[in-house]
Amino acid sequence: MYDIRQMLKLYFIAGTQDCPNLTEDRSQNLLLILEQALQAGITCFQFRDKGNNSLEAQPQAQKALAIQCRDLCRRYKVPFIVDDNVALAIEIGADGVHVGQKDMSPIMIRQMTNKPLIIGLSNNTLEDLWRSEQMIEVDYCGLGPVFPTNSKEKHNPPIGLDFVKKARDAGIRKPIVSIGGVKAEHVATLKQNGADGVAVITAISLASDVPKAVKSLQ
């Protein structure tokens, strides 16, 4: 099993919808970007393939791509997480699954498999965090969005850089990864305020120099 706090240090999230550059083949773009990011030192990868320009309407192609991403992560000994799609995560032997407040409950997910599965849960408020804190099924908390973001069509109100400190001061002890519009210049402050790491999408997926982008976020 992975060290959760270590795994959250630099958490890359992406799907085909996030990789329009390089070539016309978005799946190939994702694989190229992911391997560069793994080589440069990301500590976790979440396969989040949904929305416009994704493979959501092509489940077999999506599954095949997820397996390729999983295999790349295995090669670099980095945890491979699937967003939301619990059945896919279990079927392909992902290391974990990440869900939102309105997705399948972590309790139900634990009941679906007897294999060790990392479970992450998105949070936006202190109330969310307290629920997560009390659920033994939740291994880590995603907390955000820190800033407005274009990566999600609908997102909760931004919480700002200081919210994670409020959460720690209030007694939240579970591992936290900050997400949402995070850039390199925010990383030190977020970690000083109590985040175990940061999660990014476009800061890496749209970077002109992926290794440089990864290094700047470490």
Is 43 annotated in a binding site? The answer is no
How open is the CA angle 16-120-97, to the nearest 5 degrees? 50
Is 49 annotated in a binding site? The answer is yes
Is 149 annotated in a binding site? The answer is yes
Is 47 annotated in a binding site? The answer is yes
Give CA–CA dist 43/146, Å, rounded: 20
Is 151 annotated in a binding site? The answer is yes
Is 84 annotated in a binding site? The answer is yes
Contact 78, 6 (CB under 8 A): no
88: closest CA among 80, 76, 77, 100? 80
Type of residue at 164:
V
Is 103 annotated in a binding site? The answer is yes
The neighbour count for residue 128, using CB atoms within 10 Å, is 18
The neighbour count for residue 182, using CB atoms within 10 Å, is 24
Is 83 annotated in a binding site? The answer is yes
| Token pair in block for residue 59 | 């489940």
- Binding-site members are 46-50, 83-84, 103, 122, 149-152, 181, 201-202
- Binding-site members for Mg(2+) are 84, 103
